[in-house]
Amino acid sequence: MARTSRRVKVGGVIRPPGDKSITHRALIVSALTHSSVSITGSLDSADARRTAVVLRQLGAEIDSFERGRAVQVRGRQWTAPSSTLDCGNSGTTARLMLGALAGHDFRARLTGDSSLRRRPMLRVTEPLAAMGASISDRDGDGMPIDIQGGKLRSISYESPVASAQVKSAILLAGLTGGVPVTVIEPVRSRDHTERLFKFLGFDIRVEGTTVRLHGATENWPQIASFDLTIPGDPSSAAFLVGAAVLAEHGELLIECVGVNPTRTGFLAVLQRMGAQVEQLNLREMAGEPVADLMVKSHPLTGTEIVADEIPSLIDEIPLLAALAARAHGETTFRSVGELRVKESDRLALITENLRAIGGTAEIQGEDLVVVGSRQPLRGRVETAGDHRLTMSFAVLGTTPASDIELSESESAGVSYPNFFSDLDRLFTDA
């Protein structure tokens, strides 16, 4: 178990780990090419390593992850794996790999840990089956899943949910199957796959919430070797931002953070709540906008987060809820039922844990309501091995007079291996 401790003043300069979403996509697309790719700034975490393991089982050569060194990927024609592809706890690995495998004429089985096996997969397997892939699973909507890929047909798919994983799976199927695909979402989800495809010269077009891929490029997959640089993960940076905002004094510079507009809903909401966050040194890396963030400690005020904002901040809701517990007034999160099918039932656990430490939170249908307080927060929280819950309550535990005990701390390594040491580094006094 881990116990949080009070911090007072933030300061200094820090850089978050590489973007998890982009790392997954960069590894998969690089492994699909018949070329050599150098990936700088990739995330060295449990989820990213799991994607690399799965790709090696399919024939790709991927160097081991070493801090400070670029990862070299040598792609080649994929071959049938000799054993089950274990995606661990990574839903991104599972769903994107299903899409990439759909265009390959062999059978593969994918599974995951107990948490991943409970997560819904029909949202991905249904459109892939409509394209011609043969898919079977044991429970009707979960893993293990057997997929037999091969010759695919084009699809125009209207997704019932705004999901970058669903969209990316279909785009990868279109790429590997060499067929045009169209995905229409109710609200635009994060667009890292589209940006990577465009960076590599693929014929992909975006109009509002509609994305069209016009099949593979003429020289795919024999494209020239290329280099990719991955910016810092905004979802990881969010915890640093949150800790700086909650501090009593100081300011923090967070370097090289991805500020893709489909990922910065968190910053927009925080600024609406009164946080002082400035974007400096705007630039671009591999088609992704990047900036340095200057964050100053500042009191927060409650707000309403509407349904259309949720896709751009879905991973940051646990942290926003924690911050809302220290804001003045009430914060309402609309239409957040999707949190029930993340690494844990985040909706229930956010609510139960805030109550357990003396906060006020309530689920109202698909909405979450958190009422802020300046009272000390004390008690034990159950993270259920969910990395975002672990880090969110650790940040909340840095506030004055708080004493929060975490049920575990190891899960932070799923997305932010050095989170706790970095959190300590933010503060100049205790």
Catalytic residues: 315
Please give the structure tokens belonging to residue 248.
């009593």
CA distances from 349 to 197, 352, 356, 368, 381 (A): 37, 5, 10, 11, 9
Output the six-digit token pair for 174: 């279109």
Encoding tokens for residue 145?
Answer: 């899943």
Cβ neighbours, 10 Å, residue 322: 30
Supply 142's token pair.
């979960």
**359 contacts 370 by C-beta, under 8 angstroms:** yes
**What own/partner pairs with CB < 8 Å and gap ≥ 24 does 360-369 have?**
360/325, 361/321, 361/325, 366/334, 366/335, 366/336, 366/337, 367/332, 367/333, 367/334, 367/335, 367/336, 368/317, 368/321, 368/332, 368/333, 368/336, 368/339, 369/330, 369/331, 369/332, 369/333
- Tell which residue, 81, 90, 101, has the closest CA to residue 173: 101
Q: Which positions ≥6 away from 178 have C-beta within 8 Å? A: 103, 152, 215, 216, 220
Q: How many whole angstroms separate alpha carbon 97 and alpha carbon 51?
A: 9
With beta carbons less than 8 A apart as the criterion, state whether 229 and 41 touch: yes
Distance of CA 198 to the CA centre of its chain: 20
